[in-house]
Amino acid sequence: MKKCFSISGKTIIAVIIMASLSLVIPKLFGMSVYNVISGSMEPTISVGSIVYAKPTEFDKLANGDIIAYEAGASVVTHRIDEIDREDKLITTKGDANRATDVMPVAYINVIGKVVAHVPLLGYVAAGLSSIIGKLVALVLLVVGVILSSTGSEKVVGAKEGSTKVLNPKIPLAIGLVIIMGSLGGFLYIYMDYSKSNSLYDNLNDSFTAHKEEVPWYEMVDVDFANLQSINKDVAAWIYVEGTDISYPIMYSGDDDKYLRTTMEMEHATAGSIFLEGFNIPDFSDSHNILYGHNMRNLSMFGKLKYYKEDAGFLDEHKYFQVITPEQKMRFEIFSYFDTDAASWVYVVPYSENQDFADYIDKLIKHSVKDIEVAKEIGPSDKVVTLSTCSTTGRRFTVHGYLYETHGVE
């Protein structure tokens, strides 16, 4: 029995250490590590796998290679179907998908070529990314050390002829270093969250004026002159009525610059709310996409999940505003649902034609909830999509049509 305990303990220790090292060591060699949360690459890469992506020069990419790339506020892992060498555009496709992805990938958004993947390890990575997971791993490590030392009476360095057993303090020390490093990372993330919250609270206090029980166009006034003196990329401001989703909208022409960067050009996990790079920053396109992270502390677009989790949330928060230096626009929500990271949803721009009418019809048909106002929307309307990560491991999108406008005084 003691021998079984000892073997079990050593197995627990080995699994925790190997799992931790498999996530840390590749980063030391310049690789990026991602957890696969979509089945679009099955059966080649299954849900719950870890993929390792290595930066690769454009000329060395070839059809059939699997790449990881930025798609808005998401990372997608798909196979190269075709390469436009002249414009450095890459057409991709998930192995499980029938058609190629709608939007080509600009090389500037490519993170790297996938050089390896490990099934199931993604579930471990997801567990270790949370504070509870780290504490569970620490407890298991201690239990493993206790079990592995059961029945061991000799240690390394004993006299000749005696049984040599690994000193249990060694794996304990290694495990503690790994777990404490992870906890240190959690503390860093917590401080990063706090910094972002403080920044955006200060922006609201300094550059906006919020009012209650007034006409919608008087709810928020924005000082764009001073905001743009800090960063000229401030294109607009978003406010979801009745919530604390109130942030500047950044526009740089690409979908990478503000993914993990604040308006003040500081690194932050929360990044910024930003407009799709293929859109025009004055919101004159028929379809505009705004990206924001689904933060665990419910900041940024973290509270959008309530639309699908709380049956009464839409009734109380069915409008959001996009405010530019020239006008205030009020959008009414008519659809929301989960979708893939490389979904047909992420197509811009559109114009007033049948293609856009078909697109709107598709948004309505996919909606989690039938919303009465959706029947009134057509290709002459303007649509804004709010996109964030979903708790299902996919993407959650909220769609509003332009309900009313008002000039900025």
**Which amino acids are annotated catalytic?**
38
CA 292, CA 238: separation in Å to the nearest integer? 11
CA distance to 25, 26, 135, 180, per residue, from 21 (Å): 6, 8, 17, 13
Q: Which of 318, 298, 299, 294 has its CA nearest to residue 307?
A: 318
Percent helix, strand, coil in the chain, to 5, is: 35, 25, 40
Sheet of 89-93, strands arranged across: 32-35, 50-54, 110-118, 66-71, 74-84, 89-93, 105-106
Q: Which of 254, 255, 265, 260 has its CA nearest to residue 193?
A: 260
Burial class (CB in 10 A: 0-12, 13-18, 19+), 2: exposed
CA angle 125, 10, 47 (to 5 degrees): 25
CA atoms within 13 A on the CB side of 264: 11
CA 77, CA 65: separation in Å to the nearest integer? 10
Enclosing H/E stretch for 295: none
